[in-house]
Amino acid sequence: MAFEEFGYDAAIDYKNTDDLDAALVEHCPAGIDAYFDNTSGPIHDAVLRHINLHARIAICGDGDVCELGNPGTRGPRPERHLLVKRATMQGFFLTTDYIPRFRRSG
């Protein structure tokens, strides 16, 4: 499937990209205003280097950096980017935060 089918302007295959920072600059030359993160880790770190002032970041998971009950020592260090760019980062759990919005079947 082509990324155009989903309405995206571009797609980056992070598994086959040698330089994620260069790919982000190429496909997001004006920077990044919104980012949905489901795993954290190196992709998250790269994206944060390219966020714009007042960017919005939704974190829905951190599977690349944390095991349940045993957080690792590596992971994103977003504080400086969030501070300098006055960005908003907010976590949420789909399964508990939005249950009232689920349609009831039957």
Which CATH number is 81's domain given?
3.40.50.720
Over residues 74-97, mean pLDDT = 76
Residue 24 belongs to some domain of the structure: no
Q: Which residues, 6 or more positions from 27, have their beta carbon under 8 angstroms from its beta carbon?
A: 9, 10, 12
Q: Is 56 contained in some domain?
A: yes
Enter the tokens of residue 2: 């082509």
Parent domain of 38: 33-99
pLDDT digits (tens, 9 = 90+) for 8-23: 888 888 889 999 999 9
The secondary structure element, H or E, covering residue 93 is: none
In a domain, 76, yes or no: yes
Number of domains in the chain: 1
Cβ neighbours of residue 59 closer than 8 Å, sequence gap 6 or more: 37, 40, 89, 90, 91, 92
| pTM of this prediction exceeds 0.75 | no
